Structure 1
């Protein structure tokens, strides 16, 4: 049985896209740039904030626009109530059951560190994560294995003892680059190509299936 479960955040533990859409569209409107629909945002997600902004901007992606929209978006996001960003149903219960089994828990995300700390403190304060790795410059972001390597080192386990649980192609590549197994979930922001990827050891439709993997 695996000893360490490393979770992605957005689309895996938390349903977070609606607040992202609201704040991004406010920022884009400020600069008279085209806004996007929820469905149009989904393929833009997964990378670090600069990569996401570049994809959101599309043909308007220039270094100047990326920096301006990014800073405005982050200001809006930081000051917003983020009322729509909530854990997926059964996510906390699943983490609690894994914790009771003695499974080490961690998070690896391209979300900025302070944002992760805010949501984990608000919703998962009683979960004892061995490590939480967001993206902080100048360190590389996912799918680089930097964050996973730090988690594994801190947990003191081998690569064969760890599994990465995520919802997108970025998570699959992160697991692959780290040399650990991957579980792919279908309740997040992935697509059919992700679910048909040969690397994940299993494609999950419900949180309860994560617990089955750790039996």
Structure 2
């Protein structure tokens, strides 16, 4: 029986791609680098902020100093513009409310900066009492390392067989497999089904309510 559901944030609970893309493009323009389309950013995100900026930069400028400068301005801009276009995906709020009412513990595990993860989760889901909300923290491994999942399970006092992980990317698939927990991959997020299948995903949903149907079986 599932007692804990861990959700990825970007591309799973929230459609954040427009604010991420506009913020990164702002920082790139500030440093006189080419910008990218929204579609391109769907493949830049998922592995943490450093990797996002690295992927957005020209290959010849992907060095630690340049990444740090662009990342700094990206984060400064994003802090003031992270909710301009960001919204929960259809049915997500209702799903979380239903799961909470059923007594299932809820958590968020993201590779987004921890402060932004906590802020956006609270901003868009103020009535949901998540057991744990964790993002990327300094000196702590990011997904697909399973440490974040283990920490959440420990906080919730649940075992692997009682935990379901929900995500939209190949990183999420690897995270769940590395942690040894059950996985549901969503198809409304940033990455295509082919990527998820290539990483080992086998269970997919196209609408939020399908997750509830799976848990009811």
TM-score computed with the length of structure 2 as normaliser: 0.95
> Offset at 1:58?
4.0
> Offset at 1:198?
6.7
Does the alignment pair 1:30 with 2:18?
Answer: no
CA RMSD of the aligned region, Å?
Answer: 1.3
> Offset at 1:201?
4.3
Q: Which runs of 5+ in 1 are unaligned?
A: none
Pairing of 1:1-215 with structure 2 (within 5 A): 1-59=1-59, 60-80=61-81, 82-197=83-198, 199-215=200-216
Secondary structure at 1:84 match in 2: coil
What is the number of equivalent residue pairs in this alignment?
Answer: 215
Relative distance call for 1:145 and 1:26 in structure 2 (3 A) is same
Once the two structures are overlaid, the 10-residue window that deviates more, 203-212 or 114-123, is 114-123
Secondary structure at 2:53 match in 1: helix
Distance in 2 of aligned mates of 1:135 and 1:156: 22
> Offset at 1:85?
0.8
Distance in 2 of aligned mates of 1:81 and 1:187: 20
8 Å contact 1:182–1:199 — kept in the other structure? no
> Offset at 1:79?
2.1
TM-score computed with the length of structure 1 as normaliser: 0.96
Distance in 1 of aligned mates of 2:92 and 2:204: 16
Q: Which runs of 4+ in 1 moved over 6 A?
A: none
Secondary structure at 1:121 match in 2: helix
